[in-house]
Amino acid sequence: MKFKTNSEAETSAFGRFLGEQLRRPVTILLEGDLGAGKSVIARALARGLGVPEDIPITSPTFTLMNHYSARIELYHFDLYRLADAEELIEIGFDDFAHSEGVALVEWPERLPDREFDHLLVQIDRLSADCREVEVRACGFETQGLLDRLQKWLVTQ
């Protein structure tokens, strides 16, 4: 599924809808260059999951993982500064990414292995306001989520 957003508000609306649609544990990989909109989607997804508005949602660039309580626990990873795969073991990535929560991973290109069920969200910055977003279900468990996202897109 591929579509364009023409403002930060539209990109955020997608992220919020995605968060609202999550009903069970899932791993979501957010790919895109610096400034593409990964953090916009991450903040909106957290709100869609029910993280209260008074809790700031920040990229865990230096801590690698932030945890947020919501109707489904959210584990937000930012692997930009990941030095090597050993750090993933130290922070318990596998425990969180395959747990009873939502694992949201920015910079998943740094993962040594992606052979697990996940939803891939690729964001390309076309201009200051315009983004092209491609969403792919990588595995059986995420196909239903992708189907709901496609129906939402038709109504927008």
Residue 93: per-residue pLDDT: 85
pLDDT greater than 90 at residue 60: no
Q: Say what the pLDDT of residue 19 is.
A: 95
Measure Cα distances from 99 to 72, 75, 126, 131 in Å.
11, 10, 35, 31
Report helix, strand or coil for 26. strand
Predicted pLDDT at 141:
79
Written as six digits, the tokens of 140 are: 């059986």
Specify burial of residue 113 (Cβ count, 10 A radius: 0-12, 13-18, 19+): exposed
Quick: pLDDT tens for 28-56. Answer: 999 999 889 999 999 999 999 999 999 99
Does this model's pTM top 0.85?
Answer: yes
Which amino acid is residue 29, in one-letter code? L
Cα distance between residue 3 and residue 135, in whole Å: 9
| CB-facing half-sphere around the CA of 99: CA atoms within 13 A | 16
pLDDT band at 125 (very low <50, low <70, confident <90, very high): very high
pLDDT at residue 76 above 80? yes
Q: Which domains does the chain have, with CATH numbers?
A: 2-155 (3.40.50.300)
